C-alpha cells in the first residue's frame, strides 16, 4: 500500500470514528463530559495548588531562617569562651553572634512591694546576643554594658514594664523589681518584634549576675548568630565545632528548620495531593469511557457485525472503537483544560492571587485524558473486535 493510500485509510478511519461519535450525541456527550470534568478537576486543583503555593511561599519568606541557634546541653557557670564566640563572628556570613540564653523559663517577678506578681522568663545575654536577636534597648542603659554589669541590675521587657506599672515616660532611677525575693535595679527597657518576642515579657541580666544571684547554670543556654539567609546550616556546623572543640558543653545545632525546607515539604505535599486526586479522577474517566463505550458497542452489535461481514478485519474494528475513544478523549481533555483553567482564573481573581500556570500542565492534562480514554477503550474495543460476522445475518 502506498503512503497515499495509507493516509487515505487513516483518514477514512478517523472520519468513521468522528461520524460514529457525532451520530450518537447522547453517548458522546456523556463520555466527553465524564472525561472533561475529570480533567477540569485535575487542572483546576493543580493550578490553584500552584497558585496557592506562591502565597504560602510569600508567607514563608517572612520566616526564612537567618538565625543559627547552638545550644549547650551541659552548660557550665563559665558559659561560652568569649574568644571562640568572637572567632565565630569572623565567619563571612555571620552578621552578629552572642549569647542569648533562657536562664530560667519561669520566675516570679513583682514590684518591690510584692504586687503585680507574675511568672516570667529570665534571660541572660551579652550585647552581641541582643544584636543577633534584634533585641532593642528602647530606654536606659545600652546592651553593651551587659558584659561589664556588676551587681543586681536588670533590663526588663517593655510588656513586663507595662504590667508592672512602669509608664513609658517614667524615670528609671530607683526603679526596682523583685525576681523571686531578690531585688534588681531596672537599668533599661528592651523589646523584640522578631522571633524572640518573649524578651519583651522577661527580665534580662548578665551571666555574671545570674551566676552570682540566681545560681545554677541556666536552663537553655544558647549562642545565637544572625547570618545571611541560606547559610544557616553551614554556619551552625562550624559553630558547633568551633565553640566547643573538646565537647565539654555538648553543643548542638538546634536552628529551626529552614523556611525553604518547610516550603519544599509543603509544595511536595500539595503536589502529592494533586497527583492522588489526578489519579483518582483519571480512574473515574477511564471507567466512564469504558462504561459508555461498552454500552455503545452493545447497541452497535448489528453495525459492527455488518462491518465484519463486509470484510473488516477484527483489528480494524478494534482500532475504530479506540479511535472513537481517543477522539472523545482529546476533545474532552481540551474542554476540560479550558474549564479547569477558567475555574482557576476566576478563583484566583476572587482571592486576589497571582495565577501560576505551569506551561507543561495543559499538554500533560490532554495527554493524561487521552491515555485514560485509550485505556478505558481497550475492553470495549476488544468486545467490538470479537463481534462475529454472523451477527449481521442473524439480527
Q: How far is the CB of 364 from another protein (least distance, A)?
A: 35
* CB nearer another protein, residue 295 or residue 374: 295
Residues contacting residue 117 through CB under 8 Å, at least 6 positions apart: 108, 109, 110
Tell me the C-alpha distance between 379 and 2, whole Å.
Answer: 32
Residue 184 CB coordination number (10 Å):
23
Q: How far is the CB of 391 from another protein (least distance, A)?
A: 9
Contacting residues toward another protein, per CB under 8 A: 1, 4-5, 8, 11-12, 19, 23-24, 302-303, 306-314, 388-390, 392-395
Which C-beta is closer to another protein: that of 49 or that of 319?
A: 319
Rank residues 310 and 350 by Cβ distance to another protein and give the closer one.
Answer: 310
DSSP label of 357 = -
Q: Which is nearer to another protein, 105 or 302 (CB)?
A: 302
Query: Which of 77, 315 has the CB closer to another protein?
Result: 315
Query: Among residues 228 and 302, whose Cβ is nearest to another protein?
Result: 302
> What's the min distance (Å) between Cβ of 319 and another protein?
13
Closest distance of CB 33 from another protein, Å: 21
Smallest distance, another protein to C-beta of residue 294, A? 20
The C-alpha cell at 216 is 545554677
CB within 8 Å of 124: residues ≥ 6 apart: 99, 100, 101, 102, 103, 204, 205, 206, 207, 210, 218, 221
Query: Phi first, then psi: what are they for 361, rounded to 5°?
Result: -60, -50
Q: 9 is written with which cell numbers?
A: 485509510
Least CB distance to another protein at residue 321 (A): 15
Number of H helices, E strands in the chain: 12, 10
Amino acid at each position: 500500500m502506498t503512503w497515499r493510500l495509507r493516509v487515505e485509510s487513516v483518514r477514512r478511519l478517523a472520519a468513521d470514528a468522528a461520524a460514529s461519535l457525532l451520530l450518537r450525541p447522547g453517548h458522546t456527550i456523556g463520555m466527553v463530559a465524564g472525561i472533561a470534568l475529570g480533567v477540569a478537576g485535575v487542572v483546576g486543583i493543580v493550578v490553584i495548588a500552584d497558585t496557592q503555593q506562591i502565597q504560602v511561599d510569600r508567607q514563608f519568606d517572612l520566616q526564612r531562617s537567618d538565625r543559627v541557634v547552638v545550644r549547650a546541653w551541659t552548660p557550665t557557670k563559665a558559659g561560652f569562651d568569649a574568644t571562640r564566640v568572637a572567632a565565630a563572628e569572623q565567619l563571612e556570613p555571620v552578621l552578629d553572634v552572642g549569647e542569648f540564653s533562657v536562664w530560667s523559663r519561669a520566675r516570679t517577678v513583682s514590684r518591690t512591694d510584692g504586687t503585680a506578681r507574675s511568672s516570667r522568663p529570665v534571660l541572660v545575654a551579652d550585647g552581641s546576643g541582643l544584636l543577633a536577636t534584634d533585641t532593642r534597648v528602647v530606654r536606659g542603659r545600652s546592651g553593651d554594658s551587659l558584659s561589664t554589669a556588676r551587681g543586681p541590675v536588670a533590663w526588663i521587657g517593655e510588656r513586663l514594664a507595662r504590667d508592672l506599672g512602669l509608664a513609658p515616660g517614667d524615670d528609671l532611677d530607683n526603679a526596682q523589681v523583685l525576681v523571686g525575693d531578690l531585688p534588681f535595679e531596672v537599668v533599661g527597657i528592651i523589646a523584640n518584634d522578631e522571633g524572640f518576642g518573649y524578651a519583651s515579657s522577661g527580665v534580662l541580666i548578665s551571666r555574671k549576675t545570674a551566676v552570682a544571684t540566681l545560681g545554677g547554670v541556666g536552663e537553655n543556654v544558647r549562642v545565637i548568630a544572625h547570618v545571611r539567609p541560606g547559610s544557616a546550616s553551614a554556619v551552625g556546623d562550624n559553630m558547633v565545632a568551633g565553640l566547643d572543640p573538646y565537647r565539654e558543653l555538648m553543643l548542638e545545632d538546634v536552628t529551626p528548620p529552614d523556611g525553604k525546607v518547610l516550603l519544599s515539604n509543603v509544595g511536595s505535599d500539595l503536589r502529592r495531593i494533586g497527583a492522588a486526586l489526578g489519579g483518582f479522577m483519571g480512574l473515574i474517566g477511564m471507567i466512564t469511557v469504558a462504561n459508555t463505550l461498552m454500552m455503545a458497542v452493545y447497541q452497535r452489535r448489528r453495525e459492527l457485525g455488518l462491518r465484519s461481514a463486509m470484510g473488516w478485519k477484527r483489528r480494524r474494528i478494534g482500532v475504530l472503537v479506540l479511535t472513537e475513544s481517543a477522539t472523545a478523549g482529546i476533545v474532552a481533555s481540551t474542554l476540560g483544560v479550558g474549564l479547569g483553567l477558567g475555574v482557576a482564573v476566576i478563583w484566583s481573581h476572587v482571592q486576589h492571587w497571582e495565577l501560576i500556570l505551569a506551561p507543561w500542565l495543559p499538554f500533560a492534562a490532554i495527554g493524561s485524558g487521552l491515555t485514560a480514554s485509550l485505556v478505558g477503550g481497550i475492553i470495549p474495543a476488544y468486545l467490538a473486535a470479537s463481534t462475529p460476522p454472523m451477527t449481521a445475518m442473524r439480527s
